[in-house]
Structure 1
Amino acid sequence: MGYGRNNWRQVAGFAAEFIPGGEAVIDAVDLARGVTDSVGLSRLNYTKGGHPLVELPWQPPGPPPDQQRAEAVGQQAWNVLFADETRYSAASLLDQVGNLLVPLPPAELDMVVRRWGQQGLERWDSLTHVEDGNGEPAYDWRRQRELFGWLLRTVSPYGAMLIGTWMPCSQPDDDAECECGDHGWVLPEGPFAKVDGAYVTENWQWVSGASEAMSWQDMDQGQLGDCWLLTSMQSVLQANPQHAPRHLRLEANGTVTATFYDQGGPIDITVVPDLPYGHGRIWGAKGHTADARYAETWPSYYEKAAAQFYGNYHDIAHGGPPATALNLLTGREAQWLDLSTAWLVQEVADRRSRGQALVATTAPAANAAPGEAAKIAGGRLVQNHAYFIKDVDVAGGRICLGNPWGDGATRKLWECWLTLEEVGYYLVQIAAVDTW
């Protein structure tokens, strides 16, 4: 999932060396169009220390805007927004604002958001943080998500970016835990080139087996410690390739909506399409490249939506149980496998044949420094890490672990085959869940 950029130059450039005079033709076209890699990099919408705000093409649905109505409703909602919350309660004010704005057509709602600007949006955000007498948020979390999800999906791309910039409640916080000062947010251009049904990275590595729009092969964990979440996504997608298209969608205005499950019920989380960026690359999860001009971005948005669900990136970046992630993704409770049984390999094969996703974890490192991945199994595995069950060899009595750490197109880190004896020695648990 990206922004549909046609990387024609990369495709043509790859073929140019096999065509007499091909390079000269490409150079001439580049000169005429003013297209170079440096130009593409310079126009990358990256804001250091903040969120990008750029006008993007948008065709609002519905009738033409009624400016007078938008002005009147916007002013009325503004007055409610700035009423005394100690007198009327923050929850009541937020409900009244929502009731006033929901009937507006998208173009008029966008006019209101733009007119309110920083002051109005910051005030709207502040009301969501008001607590009741028990120290709990005065506004129900689910109602808040529904209200702001609708708002983000309805306004223009620029309006959504205004909301993402001035309403922190609509975006997960990103603390890169890095003092370099080179971190911010970027609007990716992506996706990378696709040739003859196969994906190609910016270094022209062929990506095998990833011809679907959203495939488990696309996952690359990035710099955050959320393997428990990302490899669960891989496992679910491998078991049920239809899961991602049904639970992640690109809205008409460029925002992205992920469907998760909370207490067994579905809940939509809509996020602004900018992503954490630092050191010249996408900082979190991504596809086969960290270059924001070519990156496959659906893993990034799944990760961002999960961070918004939990509160911020920090809350997902320091580990968690895969069983929780599997429940978040499917709405079903995970089941635990008995690692001591002699029939473990056969059970894994049976569960995979029934469309179950399985995720395994290794034991925490005893003496490893914070952030250090202690290698085990001759360097094939690391401690305190989550893997998905990628394959099984019943005849040989082995299972294969897949790693969410991407490795370009070669995926050397993907596979680690373990015998039944090694499973008992290196793994501490395997969780399984139905995906269909």
Structure 2
Amino acid sequence: MSEFRGFDTAEIRALASSLRKLGTDARGMHRDLAGVLTEAAQLLNGKPATTDPLLQPLVGQLFVMPSFFGGPSSMPGTLDSELGDMAGSMERRSKQLDECKILIEHGYAVDNALLFADEVAPNEKHISDALKKLHELDGKDFGTNGNRDDLEKVKSMLEGMTAAEIDAFFDRVPEADLKRYNDLMNDTGDSGWKWWDENGLPAGERRDHLSMILGKLGPAHWAKAQAAFPGMQPGFDTTDAFLNGKNSQNGAEAKGMHWGIPSEPLFAPGTDGKEITAADIKQGRFADCWYIASLTSTAQVNPQFIRDGIVQNPNGTINVRIWDEDGNKRWVTVTPDLPLDKNGDIMGASANGSSWPAYYEKAFALAYGDDKGGAPDGKAGDKKYDRAERGNYGAVEWDNTDKAPPYVTGKDSDSIDNNVPSLRKSFESGHPVIVATGSGDDVQKKGDGIWKDTFHTRHVYYVKGFQGDNIVLGNPWGPPNKDIVATPEQYKEFFSDPQALEVPK
């Protein structure tokens, strides 16, 4: 049993044991070396016994604290805890590998990416119990109190599973059982006269539950999960870009839209997101300038806040921090595939060779709950374009400046007076600020005459700063679109509905 996928777990355990012993021996070495350096310092009449910054703290450190008191804070004694931690991880991973082998021998499939996870080893009984419990929902009489308690039992079992257990569960579970579970979770209506019924799961619980599943599940089973739970993947076939084959404002082509893994990494190589800058963000070809302007303006004021809101999971999925329509913070989990055009380029938002804004956008498409319709010029009332939606990219097109900020920062934005001094005061107080343009052909023609292609009606911009008395507005379309520099009079004529965002400290 010990040899599996080229790894001999018995040998790995033996190595872990040796590392643990070496860590323990390091305490004696620490004590002896500290004694030598301390005696040397005394004989040298206070002159340094060593110039090595790693060894200098050992001078005078003759008593080595046990590990349960924190142990030494300098080399070599620190090897005790470091090698001990490494040994513990190797032992856990060996047990994980052995137990996964048993699951596979019993007919389960476990994704290769999960075989070496540093987690509690899988228990086959957890999987079989969950399969049985889920199947029992078929045709069950839920009694007089509704089905919520039954659903919560299944939910609790699934959420208590390890990644390997969840993956094995999805390998074995019938698609019909998953789809039934989804239908029951989403049906929160009572049964008419039994007003005390509690049916389905509240929207927030459903969202968190789906994120938990997706955050653990191996890539081989993502498609099965998304087919059963539509709330895991937003659609894009009702967007203006898909329906028209282009962005309705700037005309950027959007043909051949399909799901795919982008060539751009999550963050620029070697940065780990430390170089997030607002100026790099590009809206892309979906009509969600109001959201991208909110995201960009927040990144300009507090880039670390935006960086802290996105995390990649070991299975390749991505967690994004979003506040929902009720003001509750949610970590929405999405798969790494994105809408791409016929050339394989990201359809939505991006940032100078990195893809992190597109995942913010994808999570927002799943979480946004305030859409009441909206359409490009000339399409108002056309149900193909102008309709209330939820859980897809179409829902996040064409909305008002005050709608996106609460989903980005967790706080409502404040409407401020529509003049440059008021905007300057809010901006210089540390608030991201966004503004909107009006509509109409005359406004568009006049704006084109001043700012050319970077100006557009029914568009949202963000405040980048000021030049003397003039205001500088950034276009969420991003580079190469130039900033708009407007006089106070021009601002008043062309822009309105300014919103000041509140970013948590």
The DSSP-based 3-state class of the residue aligned with 2:354 is coil
CA offsets 1:114-136 (integer angstroms, 9 cap, x no match) = 21153333233222332514899
Matched, 1:334 2:413: yes
Q: Which position in structure 1 is the counterpart of 2:348? A: 284
Q: Residues 85 and 216 of structure 1: is their aligned pair in 2 closer, same or farther, counting only changes over 3 Å?
A: farther
Partners of 1:100 and 1:403 in 2: how far apart?
Answer: 48
Q: Which position in structure 1 is the counterpart of 2:330? A: 267
Which blocks of at least 5 consecutive residues in structure 1 are unaligned? 1-54, 198-209, 289-294
CA offsets 1:156-178 (integer angstroms, 9 cap, x no match) = 23334432343212222221433
Q: Which position in structure 2 is the counterpart of 1:416? A: 484
TM superposition shift of 1:376 = 6.2
Q: Which position in structure 2 is the counterpart of 1:358? A: 433
Q: In structure 1, which of residues 68, 78, 90 is the aligned counterpart of residue 134 of structure 2? A: 78
Q: Which position in structure 1 is the counterpart of 2:166? A: 109
Q: Residues 214 and 148 of structure 1: is their aligned pair in 2 closer, same or farther, counting only changes over 3 Å?
A: same
TM superposition shift of 1:73 = 1.7
Q: Contact 1:240/1:355 (CA < 8 Å) preserved in 2?
A: no
Q: Contact 2:148/2:199 (CA < 8 Å) preserved in 1?
A: no
Q: In structure 2, which of residues 207, 213, 225 is the aligned counterpart of residue 145 of structure 1? A: 207
Higher relative contact order (CA 8 A, sep 6+): 1
Q: Contact 2:127/2:166 (CA < 8 Å) preserved in 1?
A: no
Identity %: 23
The DSSP-based 3-state class of the residue aligned with 1:425 is helix
Q: Residues 434 and 121 of structure 1: is their aligned pair in 2 closer, same or farther, counting only changes over 3 Å?
A: same
Q: Contact 1:216/1:238 (CA < 8 Å) preserved in 2?
A: yes
Q: Which position in structure 2 is the counterpart of 1:47? A: none
Matched, 1:431 2:496: no
Partners of 1:336 and 1:399 in 2: how far apart?
Answer: 18
Number of aligned positions between the proteins: 351
Partners of 1:178 and 1:137 in 2: how far apart?
Answer: 37
The DSSP-based 3-state class of the residue aligned with 1:413 is coil
Q: Residues 228 and 265 of structure 1: is their aligned pair in 2 closer, same or farther, counting only changes over 3 Å?
A: same
Q: Which position in structure 1 is the counterpart of 2:69? A: none
Matched, 1:130 2:187: yes
TM superposition shift of 1:401 = 0.7
Higher helix share: 2
TM superposition shift of 1:98 = 0.7
Q: Which amino acid aligns with 1:264?
A: G
Q: Contact 1:362/1:382 (CA < 8 Å) preserved in 2?
A: yes
Matched, 1:168 2:230: yes
Q: Residues 123 and 264 of structure 1: is their aligned pair in 2 closer, same or farther, counting only changes over 3 Å?
A: closer
TM superposition shift of 1:218 = 3.1
Q: Which position in structure 2 is the counterpart of 1:9? A: none
Matched, 1:61 2:118: yes
Q: Contact 1:161/1:272 (CA < 8 Å) preserved in 2?
A: no
Q: Which position in structure 1 is the counterpart of 2:356? A: 298
Q: Residues 84 and 387 of structure 1: is their aligned pair in 2 closer, same or farther, counting only changes over 3 Å?
A: same
Q: Which position in structure 2 is the counterpart of 1:229? A: 291
Q: Which position in structure 1 is the counterpart of 2:12? A: none
Which structure's CA Rg is the greater one?
A: 2
Q: Which position in structure 1 is the counterpart of 2:470? A: 398
Q: Residues 194 and 150 of structure 1: is their aligned pair in 2 closer, same or farther, counting only changes over 3 Å?
A: closer
Q: Which amino acid aligns with 2:480?
A: K
Partners of 1:313 and 1:377 in 2: how far apart?
Answer: 36
Q: Contact 1:80/1:93 (CA < 8 Å) preserved in 2?
A: no
Q: How does 1:114-263 map to 2 (within 5 A)?
A: 114-116=171-173, 118-133=175-190, 138-175=200-237, 176=239, 177-178=242-243, 182-191=256-265, 212-262=274-324, 263=326
Please give the TM-score of this superposition, normalised by the length of structure 1: 0.71
Q: Residues 166 and 66 of structure 1: is their aligned pair in 2 closer, same or farther, counting only changes over 3 Å?
A: same
Q: Contact 1:183/1:279 (CA < 8 Å) preserved in 2?
A: yes
Higher strand share: 1
TM superposition shift of 1:189 = 3.9
Q: Contact 2:266/2:355 (CA < 8 Å) preserved in 1?
A: no
Deviates more, 1:115-124 or 1:356-365: 115-124
Q: Contact 2:234/2:393 (CA < 8 Å) preserved in 1?
A: no
CA offsets 1:90-149 (integer angstroms, 9 cap, x no match) = 534421211222222221121101211533332332223325148998421011112111
TM superposition shift of 1:337 = 2.1
Partners of 1:192 and 1:98 in 2: how far apart?
Answer: 31
Q: Contact 2:434/2:460 (CA < 8 Å) preserved in 1?
A: yes
TM superposition shift of 1:432 = 0.5
